[in-house]
Amino acid sequence: MSVLVCGAGPTGLVTAIELARRGIDVRIVDAAPEPSQLSKAAVLWRRSLEVLHPSVPVERFTAHGRPVHGIQFEADGSVLQEIDFGTNAGKFPHGLFIPQNKTEAVLNAALESLGVKVEWGTEVKEVSPCQEYVDVQFSDGEYSRCDWLVGADGAHST
């Protein structure tokens, strides 16, 4: 079985990691020329850490982040609202404040350790699904055939 993952954000990277861990032939592409240094998200919540832990040890994320126990909203020096997230008796008692670009760097390193590299600057131009496979044309003219296509490239997904 072969899978093409379009998009190397957190969803695409985790999908590719899980496929590679199971011995499935996976290729991951992203139209961007390189990983983004911007952050579109800032927290990995407890459940996300639980899900990621079998594939990527949480310590790899905690090295780049800080625990999140709650949040406080202020205006003009006054506290408007305070929310305590509480603690969890489970393996991960709190979320982790970590910029998305750091999360992606950790996930990308985990993927590369499985022998899969993101193909940056590779844009899907056309997708032709058939009953038993998917034909894909890239912007550079390359054609590829895969059994499955995963669109993880954002709001205007492949």
**Which residue ranges of the chain lie beneath pLDDT 70?**
88-89
| Predicted TM-score of the model (pTM) | 0.89
Assess contact for 113 and 107: CB atoms under 8 A.
no
Residue 88: what pLDDT?
66
Closest CA to 37 of 129, 102, 89, 119: 102
The pLDDT assigned to 19 comes to: 98
Burial class (CB in 10 A: 0-12, 13-18, 19+), 60: middle
Q: Which of 134, 135, 138, 136 is nearest to 122 (CA)?
A: 138
CA atoms within 13 A on the CB side of 63: 8
Specify the pLDDT at position 93: 82
Which pLDDT belongs to residue 131?
Answer: 93
pLDDT of residue 39: 87
Whether 96 contacts 42, CB under 8 Å: no
- The end-to-end CA distance of the chain, in Å, is 20
According to CATH, the superfamily of the domain at 2-151 is: FAD/NAD(P)-binding domain (3.50.50.60)
Decide if 66 contacts 97 (C-beta within 8 A).
Answer: yes
